[in-house]
Structure 1
Amino acid sequence: MPVYARAESLLSAGRLKEARALLESALRAQRDDPRALTLLGRVHLAWPVIGRLKAWRLFEQAARLDPSTPEPRYWQAQVGLHLGGADGERMIRDALYHSWELDPAYRDTWDIWQQIYRNKGHIRRAVSILSRHAGNAKADLRRAHLLIELGENDAAEAILADLIAAGRDDASVWALRAQGALEAGDTAVGLAHYERALARSGDDPLRLLWKQVEPIASPEEDSVYAATPSSEREGFFQAFWARREPDLTTAPNERIVEHFTRLRRARHLYRLLHPQSIFHRSPERRTLVAVMAPRVLKAVREFSHPLAGPVPGRSRFEDEIQAAGLGVDVRDVPEPDSLTRYRRLGFDGRGLLYLRFGEPRHRLVDIGNVEVWEYVVHGQPVAITLARASIAARFGETGALSGGDVVIFPTSKVELHNSAVMLERDETSIEAELEVRAWVAAFRGERPGEHLVYMRATPDSGVAAAWDASWTELARDRGTGPHIFRLAAGEYHLGLDVRSGDRLGRLRGEYSVPSLWTSQLAVSSILAGVTADTAFGRDDIAAAMPGDLRLPAGSPLALYAEIYDLPANADGMATYEVRYAFEPVGRGRAVALSFVRQVRAAPSVAERIVVQPGDVPPGRYRIVVTVRDRIIGREVQSTLLNFELR
């Protein structure tokens, strides 16, 4: 076996001493062998504890002997990754510059570049080097990416347009075009480009579509994306934005535009300054942040801000801690992984919060590198403490904050919970100030298996939408309602947004469409309204049923439901007992009305009554309809309907 192959095999097997002896012997025979020098450098790089600087010198020697290959420079970047810190970053940056001069797409050098701090000067030098490879599609794509980081969107667009004209038509190109246009404020063009990117999401060599949204993804979305085949990626991203759409009454999804606007600002203000700091790589080092707690707590006590309660819900971080049987110290940073999310995503704690929730309502800052950001999350005031604390204080300075990146620094268990939850959610800054009340009802459709789902809201001018369980949009309807969707039995997400003047009301919820096609006795939802027609039908009452379910007590109350698959006797007749139970919500008395009906058996039988004023006193009620057939004795109940007589 040749020396190189043998050394590579020994290195892969972790037999470092043997590999070192073999390569040193080869270099004694030929001291200026760049390949042997590179392999020996890799052995020293893999050596426990020591050997990093020795490895760097060997790679430097190999690079000078053979300046035509980027491999030694690539391994110099690996030395910098092992060393970390500012010195390591400088090594990485210089090594990547040299490597790109030879090969602008060598191995994973672009991914390594994403892991280091880069200011405008660093980026401009990289752009200059990559411009020497103009016409190389990979180099041009990366150069356009860097120009967008600099805010030079016109220059980036020119490069990307040329790439497409030359036949490069994948999602990465279109995703960058979309980002450049959206960050420049050209919404229509940016969204059109983004749709083209999504249509090509199965071919995204730089994984840009995911990297653009990863900072706001939930842990569940992270897991689902990793398991989604490339052929289904478009559906994943469509669903990703569907669940975040803030205003159904407008044509574009403003959350997409909002996200890219936040992304540009976060990159400018909250980029991670020390991504190679050991803080971001070592859970043990992060525990040392606890020594700064007295200083942080002292600063927070000087702020005047309202007490915050817990945000509803629970984070995956807390579930993992609980499953492991661990306690949660109030000084812990909510970071369950060995590599911090700050490092993975390239933003400090402020950037992560800003990308997910936008500008805080209030921002309290002291001169000692401590901040408190205040938000309202799900109606709950929340205060999140941040501290510039990723670089530990010098020995003996137990109360000092000496610098580094701004990280989330919970000062109580409530704050730990809130920050953990907020790092797994995101919200639009488009406020929905208008209170929306609505009802949903389900009936059989005309075709087997089909269900008609009625929706109506107050105010009643708006847009309703239905998505399946994976957030694929199935239907959207605009108007005053009731909105009617044709759906199969199953789980759905429903949305209903309304406008009154320039105020927006937003409603989102899950709805389970019951199976009303079981060939067994079943009953629909209940409708309630005021109508002068005693022979009213389903659509008559649906049109008369207000979205807020507030009905006048002085008018006759019409109730409507449908009964399905009543059993028949030998004469084709069905006999059933129906009971309307009005249960008061709060104070009041219960009212029950019962009737025995005999009707011609049919797949669907309309059940209707008119309750006269005074039969049910004014008040708030839950009503349920119980149907019991008198032939085989089967009994079914409707879903509850909450309404108010006033």
Structure 2
Amino acid sequence: MRTRVVLGILAVSLCCAMSPSRSRATTLARQPQQAAHTLPPELQAARAALDAGNSRQAIELAERYARGHQSDPRGQVMVGDGYAARLPAGLYRAVRAYREACRLDRDNPEPFYKLAQVGLRTRGDNGEALAAEGLERVLELDPLYGRAWDQWLTVYRNSGGRQAMIDRLRLHDSLPAVQAMVGRLLMEEERYDEADSLLALALAADPTNVAWLALRAQSSLEASDASRGLRHYHAALERAEHDSTGALWQQVVGIATPDELLEWSRGVPPEERRMWLLAFWARRNPDLFAGHNRRIMEHFARLRYARKNYPMLHPLINLDYTRAGRALTLPPLPSEQAAQALCETFEFAAPMTGGLGIVRALSPGPSDVRYRPMLGMDALGFPVMEGAVLFPLSFDLNDLGVFDSVGAKTGYNLATGLSDRGLTYLRLGPPDGIVLGGDNALNPVCNDTRLVRWRYRQWGELRFTFVNFLGSRTASEIGFAPRVREQFNTTMVALTEDHSTVPAPLEFGVWTAQFRSTDRAEITDLVVITTQGRLAASLVSPTGVPWETRESRTGIVLLPGASGRYSLLTHAKVGDQLGRQTLDVRLRSFTELPAVSDLLLGGVWTGSPDNRTAMLGHVRHDLTFSPGDTVRSYAELYGLTTAAGMVRYRATYLILRTGDVARDYARETWPDAQHLAFERRRESAADGVTVETLDILPQWIPAGRYLLRLQVEDLLTRSPVGRATIALEVR
């Protein structure tokens, strides 16, 4: 299944950033289009007709000139321009005219460049050949001509093609921009020492060039030189606001989530790019205890492997660019569907007795996709399996609604140069198992190497096969091809999520409570509590740097932050076993008064209970108590009205026994709950904070699951202050 929609050519050059060296390079570069006033009058008239949209008249004028001036390549270029305006009908004549102009003037990049533009517009295998033919010669003549380098990066290239381009560019390697170009190709060839040397030369000419710093970092990180790579990478991030080429984004777009793609496409202001990218990586930190983000090194190691083993083989096919190209993808033939039913969605069957029959056997594997109840036999005698449905290859992600379509519009494959398997490897890492062909090992029909399935223990099975294009069922591009709902769901994981392979098997619970900061009223203190083990936690805002990671051996961490939406990273550790959770949280603002904090629950202790620090020292981590325990609740009230140095309020506690915590938590009223009401009269504290506690006696909470709600009313103003709710269990 192909899951891409309308795309644009997004491969971004990492080497052609604006720099002081660019002024030297412009003496070599020429404009892709000749100025009209430099043309003969006949061709000026043809150009004017073409600009006016009259391609027929432009062609007639240009052909007349070309017949009378057979040695002038400008006539053939204008003929090509006329027919190029009439693509696809004018394809053959446009190509013929441009090639004749190339023959007449081998040292002029213009006709070669225009030949390449025809290829890029035509797409497909023929278009790719034309684009490569034109762009390779352009770059040999003038590496900085037009957008030739950017466009060449969108064409398929293998090791031989990269080496040939390196040899062409060596003619101009005194230019820093060309040194960076060659450095990129050497990096793709995994010749990292040579790449580093050339990139160092380029950076010597312009040490602040963000694109070249990003390339230098990538080269070192791919070569497993973490210290040097991270140093260059953070230097590039420091200058992210000057990244006019989008180099830093191009390096990570392959693992961006749909929300991140949407946010970037809307435009991150240049001055916020550094913080945005820092937050991007902070959300992916696989081990907050490690002191550094191993996900960065892991990403570039995966990128190296995926680029080498799973590149796009046909980057210019229409399937990756247009809705029409996607709609023309062919469904499987009936015979293919029958083979898939036999080989892929088959269950163990009793051995057949008597006569000759097919022994239906399955090879063992971790996936349970193929074990499905048999619903019967179809007209051909093949089993009909539950969930064995055909997902149309032409669905539109704009209408699907399963995730934001911006991810597909960006074009993961085109942006990364990776096939669907490469994209999966980049996002999820190596599979736990790979199966070629079907599971029915004893049936030779199922031994089909055109079918590949990747199995992940955590997410399930991904199915890849050769994509069937209109007019051809032998294309060499392998893409997503889910056949059952489980495979479709795993495909969605591969397209919308990314995960580290750093193991995190520890299961733990985590809960939070929010209070006003004791230091600054505009800051909220988020208390994070884990059910077991040591805790490391960090708040990451969508577009800003995270607050520092804080660790605690007691399993309680306090994180300050301004009000707003955050990702809360919580990692727990018991011994050497790590666990990870990421939660979406919204920090409240306690600047609007009066207000009530969240609740804490714990055991009782001797001494004063009106201290948050003391309460946190006795908090019950798993919110579970034994029968007979007295439970102490703790809350803070802010901004109560003061009269004669005193505050007066009513605290009402509702204790609800529940069988469905989520349902009852959302209910506004609990008519069947126990009600405990207390009128309090307290001295007003200098900081405006009033502590409210209650010891809940065992007879009020026999064994069961409960919700506790505190509602507060200011008795001086007869107005509600707020409420807080928490769950607990007695067993």
User: TM-score range, shorter-chain basis?
Assistant: 0.7 to 0.9
Give, in whole Å, the separation in 1 of the partners of 2:297 and 2:489.
Answer: 29
Aligned to 1:331: none
Query: Which amino acid is the alignment partner of residue 432 of structure 2?
Result: R
Specify which of 348, 351, 360 is matched with residue 419 of structure 2: 348
Aligned to 2:256: 217
Residue 645 of structure 1: CA displacement?
3.2
Specify which of 438, 447, 463 is matched with residue 385 of structure 1: 463
Contact 1:627 1:637 in 2 (8 A): yes
Specify which of 649, 654, 660 is matched with residue 576 of structure 1: 649
Specify which of 427, 439, 452 is matched with residue 371 of structure 1: 452
Residue 459 of structure 1: CA displacement?
2.6
CA 1:12–1:262 in structure 2 vs 1: closer, same or farther (change >3 Å)?
A: farther
Give, in whole Å, the separation in 2 of the partners of 1:577 and 1:224.
Answer: 46
Residue 464 of structure 1: CA displacement?
1.4
Q: What whole-Å deviation, never above 9, does each CA across 1:72-98 have from its counterpart, x for those lacking one?
A: 111121233244343433332232221
Aligned to 1:430: 502
CA 1:277–1:613 in structure 2 vs 1: closer, same or farther (change >3 Å)?
A: closer
CA 1:265–1:484 in structure 2 vs 1: closer, same or farther (change >3 Å)?
A: same
Classify the secondary structure of the residue corresponding to 2:586.
strand
Contact 1:281 1:339 in 2 (8 A): no
Residue 443 of structure 1: CA displacement?
1.8
Contact 2:708 2:726 in 1 (8 A): yes
Contact 2:533 2:574 in 1 (8 A): no
Aligned to 2:144: 105
Q: What whole-Å deviation, never above 9, does each CA across 1:334-389 have from its counterpart, x for those lacking one?
A: 99979965345422221122212122233222125112223356xxx433321112
Aligned to 2:676: 593
Residue 319 of structure 1: CA displacement?
6.4
Give, in whole Å, the separation in 1 of the partners of 2:83 and 2:615.
Answer: 81
Aligned to 1:92: 131
Classify the secondary structure of the residue corresponding to 1:639.
strand
Q: What whole-Å deviation, never above 9, does each CA across 1:462-500 have from its counterpart, x for those lacking one?
A: 311112343531332122253223333333322221212
Q: What whole-Å deviation, never above 9, does each CA across 1:538-581 have from its counterpart, x for those lacking one?
A: 11011221432234444443221112222345x44333222222
Residue 30 of structure 1: CA displacement?
2.5
Aligned to 2:3: none
CA 1:566–1:342 in structure 2 vs 1: closer, same or farther (change >3 Å)?
A: closer
Contact 1:390 1:404 in 2 (8 A): no
Which range moved further: 336-345 or 73-82? 336-345
CA 1:237–1:489 in structure 2 vs 1: closer, same or farther (change >3 Å)?
A: closer
Contact 1:555 1:613 in 2 (8 A): yes
Query: Which amino acid is the alignment partner of residue 496 of structure 1?
Result: T
CA 1:576–1:341 in structure 2 vs 1: closer, same or farther (change >3 Å)?
A: closer
Aligned to 1:295: 336
Give, in whole Å, the separation in 2 of the partners of 1:154 and 1:117.
Answer: 25
1:306 matched to 2:384? The reply is no
Give, in whole Å, the separation in 1 of the partners of 2:148 and 2:99.
Answer: 17
CA 1:337–1:437 in structure 2 vs 1: closer, same or farther (change >3 Å)?
A: closer
CA 1:240–1:390 in structure 2 vs 1: closer, same or farther (change >3 Å)?
A: farther
CA 1:419–1:10 in structure 2 vs 1: closer, same or farther (change >3 Å)?
A: farther
Specify which of 632, 640, 646 is matched with residue 566 of structure 1: 640
Q: How does 1:44-123 map to 2 (within 5 A)?
A: 44-123=83-162
- Structure 1 unaligned regions, length at least 5: 310-316, 329-333, 395-400
1:621 matched to 2:706? The reply is yes
Aligned to 2:198: 159
CA 1:634–1:205 in structure 2 vs 1: closer, same or farther (change >3 Å)?
A: closer
Q: How does 1:275-286 map to 2 (within 5 A)?
A: 275-281=315-321, 283-286=323-326
CA 1:11–1:219 in structure 2 vs 1: closer, same or farther (change >3 Å)?
A: farther
CA 1:28–1:123 in structure 2 vs 1: closer, same or farther (change >3 Å)?
A: same
Residue 255 of structure 1: CA displacement?
1.7
Which range moved further: 175-184 or 197-206? 197-206
Contact 1:277 1:391 in 2 (8 A): no
Contact 1:246 1:253 in 2 (8 A): yes
Contact 2:250 2:415 in 1 (8 A): no
Which range moved further: 554-563 or 240-249? 554-563
Contact 2:69 2:75 in 1 (8 A): no
The number of aligned residues is 620
Aligned to 2:569: 495
Q: What whole-Å deviation, never above 9, does each CA across 1:387-420 have from its counterpart, x for those lacking one?
A: 11244565xxxxxx52320011232456445524
Q: TM-score, normalised by structure 2?
A: 0.78
Give, in whole Å, the separation in 2 of the partners of 1:194 and 1:297.
Answer: 51
1:483 matched to 2:557? The reply is yes
Contact 1:282 1:338 in 2 (8 A): no
Aligned to 1:640: 725
Q: How does 1:246-285 map to 2 (within 5 A)?
A: 246-281=286-321, 283-285=323-325
Aligned to 1:314: none
Q: Which has the higher contact order (CA 8 A, sep 6+)?
A: 2
1:527 matched to 2:600? The reply is yes
Classify the secondary structure of the residue corresponding to 1:403.
coil
Specify which of 462, 474, 479 is matched with residue 535 of structure 2: 462
Contact 2:329 2:469 in 1 (8 A): no
Specify which of 377, 389, 399 is matched with residue 321 of structure 1: 399
Q: How does 1:240-251 map to 2 (within 5 A)?
A: 240-251=280-291
Give, in whole Å, the separation in 1 of the partners of 2:572 and 2:696.
Answer: 31
Give, in whole Å, the separation in 2 of the partners of 1:369 and 1:296.
Answer: 14
Q: How does 1:123-162 map to 2 (within 5 A)?
A: 123-162=162-201
Residue 318 of structure 1: CA displacement?
6.8
Which range moved further: 453-462 or 256-265? 453-462
CA 1:239–1:294 in structure 2 vs 1: closer, same or farther (change >3 Å)?
A: farther
1:177 matched to 2:238? The reply is no
Give, in whole Å, the separation in 1 of the partners of 2:276 and 2:54.
Answer: 45
Residue 3 of structure 1: CA displacement?
4.1
CA 1:348–1:490 in structure 2 vs 1: closer, same or farther (change >3 Å)?
A: closer
Specify which of 622, 631, 635 is matched with residue 557 of structure 1: 631
Classify the secondary structure of the residue corresponding to 2:496.
coil
CA 1:406–1:31 in structure 2 vs 1: closer, same or farther (change >3 Å)?
A: same
CA 1:463–1:68 in structure 2 vs 1: closer, same or farther (change >3 Å)?
A: same
Query: Which amino acid is the alignment partner of residue 508 of structure 1?
Result: T
- Structure 2 unaligned regions, length at least 5: 1-36, 345-361, 371-386, 388-394, 438-447, 662-671
Residue 130 of structure 1: CA displacement?
0.9
Contact 2:656 2:673 in 1 (8 A): yes
Q: TM-score, normalised by structure 1?
A: 0.88
Aligned residues: percent identity?
Answer: 30
Which range moved further: 137-146 or 482-491? 482-491
Classify the secondary structure of the residue corresponding to 1:640.
strand
Residue 124 of structure 1: CA displacement?
0.5
Give, in whole Å, the separation in 1 of the partners of 2:605 and 2:319.
Answer: 73
Specify which of 586, 610, 623 is matched with residue 512 of structure 1: 586
CA 1:502–1:63 in structure 2 vs 1: closer, same or farther (change >3 Å)?
A: same
CA 1:129–1:506 in structure 2 vs 1: closer, same or farther (change >3 Å)?
A: same
CA 1:587–1:495 in structure 2 vs 1: closer, same or farther (change >3 Å)?
A: closer
Give, in whole Å, the separation in 2 of the partners of 1:272 and 1:375.
Answer: 23
CA-atom RMSD, angstroms?
3.0
Give, in whole Å, the separation in 2 of the partners of 1:85 and 1:524.
Answer: 62
Give, in whole Å, the separation in 2 of the partners of 1:119 and 1:90.
Answer: 14
CA 1:615–1:391 in structure 2 vs 1: closer, same or farther (change >3 Å)?
A: closer
Give, in whole Å, the separation in 2 of the partners of 1:339 and 1:194.
Answer: 24
Contact 1:374 1:383 in 2 (8 A): yes
